[in-house]
Amino acid sequence: MLPFSAEEELTAEQKSAFSKKTNLIVSLLLVLLILLVSLPVLLVLIVSVSSEQSVVNNGYSFFPDSFSLDAWRYLAHSGMYLARAVFNSFLITAVGTTLGLLIMCPISYALSRKNFRYRNGIMIFLIIPMLFSGGLVSTYMVNTQILHLQNTYLALILPGLCSTWYIMILRNYFQTAVPEAMIEAAMVDGGRQLQIFWRIVLPVSRPVTMTVALFQIFAYWNSWYPSLLYLDSNHTELFPLQYVLVNMQRSIDTLANDAQYISGMQVYTPPAVTVRMVLVVMAILPILIIFPFFHRFLKNGMTIGAVKG
């Protein structure tokens, strides 16, 4: 006697064929979605190497009348000033993300333990500033008059170092995804809480830590407002990339606006539109480069974090 009837076998083949067709349709839809998401990035790249006159005549186009590297040459004149800004952004992003994880992960783990006596009080203490901000003026006064952070790297790192929202994400993951039996077994074997956290909890929780790290990287890399508050024009060596790009855009817009009021003089007008696209490329290119590496870490973290039954 056959293990299943001909009707059941046909049904299985039909299900398999339906599954293949479904996978093909879903794959095509995902490819189409990827192309749609990639089109704006491609347009920015094309406009950045287009001639200014072509953009003025035809607007943003995938097929410009002529190409030019004038915008890139104009930005290259900044030389070491721009290179220093790139270095500052990488330094601030790396230090801020690392210190943020070192602070938020232990706090989240402590708050996730039911036998931690003060976890409710500390959680309320963390949530109140998230709901009721102290205000920009008071924050500025504390950072400048009490902590004296103006014109230092710490002024660009400390304000975004710790986030209650990220702590809640980490805490919830530690509570739900880390098996309590694993921690209890480690305690039975004589492991201390700090050892359990570093050697067991963090490796299992790599997906959420990498996700929070990626959010922190985005926040620090795109941040320029703290530079406006805490850095003055005499400390240009501390300017991060985003703040430098904002200042460049303001300078270009000022030159372009002033040129129309000057007559009878030969005034150099920078390619304002194409330079703006070059600035966008410089801002997003490092993120586009680093994201695939974090995606790989996230995928590996899912595998490492699997718990055998």
Asked if 240 contacts 224 with a C-beta cutoff of 8 angstroms, the reply is yes
Q: Please identify which residue in the block is written with the tokens 């718990």.
A: 307
DSSP 236: G
- Residue 62 resides in a domain: no
Q: Please identify which residue in the block is written with the tokens 């839809």.
A: 29
Structural domain boundaries, residue 35:
6-48
% the chain with pLDDT above 70: 83
Which pLDDT tens digit goes with each residue over 206-227?
A: 888 888 898 899 899 988 888 9
Quick check: 250 pLDDT over 70?
yes
Which pLDDT tens digit goes with each residue over 50-100?
A: 887 888 787 788 888 888 888 888 777 777 888 898 899 999 999 999 999
Domain count within the chain: 2
Say if residue 146 is in the same domain as residue 246. yes
- Residue 60 resides in a domain: no
Query: How many whole angstroms separate alpha carbon 120 and alpha carbon 21?
Result: 51
- Residue 172 resides in a domain: yes
Q: What is the pTM of this model?
A: 0.77
Taking the CB of residue 290, how many other CB atoms lie within 10 A of it?
Answer: 14
- The CA–CA distances, whole Å, from 228 to 4, 108, 118 equal 73, 32, 38
- Residue 61 resides in a domain: no
- Position 4, amino acid: F
Residue 50's Cα: distance from chain center in Å?
28
- Residue 309 resides in a domain: no
Rg from Cα positions in the chain: 27
Say if residue 22 is in the same domain as residue 170. no
Instruction: State the CATH number of the domain containing residue 112.
Output: 1.10.3720.10
Query: How many whole angstroms separate alpha carbon 62 and alpha carbon 127?
Result: 48
Q: In terms of Cα–Cα distance, which of 100, 254, 249 is closest to 165?
A: 100
Say if residue 111 is in the same domain as residue 210. yes
Quick check: 277 pLDDT over 80?
yes
245, burial (CB in 10 Å: exposed 0-12, middle 13-18, buried 19+): buried
Say if residue 38 is in the same domain as residue 75. no
Helix/strand/coil for 50? strand
| pLDDT (0 to 100) of residue 104 | 92
Q: Please identify which residue in the block is written with the tokens 């040459």.
A: 73
Say if residue 81 is in the same domain as residue 170. yes
Say if residue 26 is in the same domain as residue 156. no
Say if residue 196 is in the same domain as residue 290. yes
CA dihedral 83, 87, 93, 95 (to 10 degrees): -170
Say if residue 225 is in the same domain as residue 290. yes
Quick check: 110 pLDDT over 80?
yes
| pLDDT (0 to 100) of residue 59 | 78
Say if residue 15 is in the same domain as residue 143. no
Higher model confidence: residue 277 or residue 294? Answer: 277
Say if residue 180 is in the same domain as residue 38. no
- Residue 76 resides in a domain: yes
Say if residue 43 is in the same domain as residue 159. no
| pLDDT (0 to 100) of residue 258 | 60
Higher model confidence: residue 307 or residue 219? Answer: 219
- Residue 54 resides in a domain: no
- Residue 55 resides in a domain: no
Say if residue 44 is in the same domain as residue 129. no
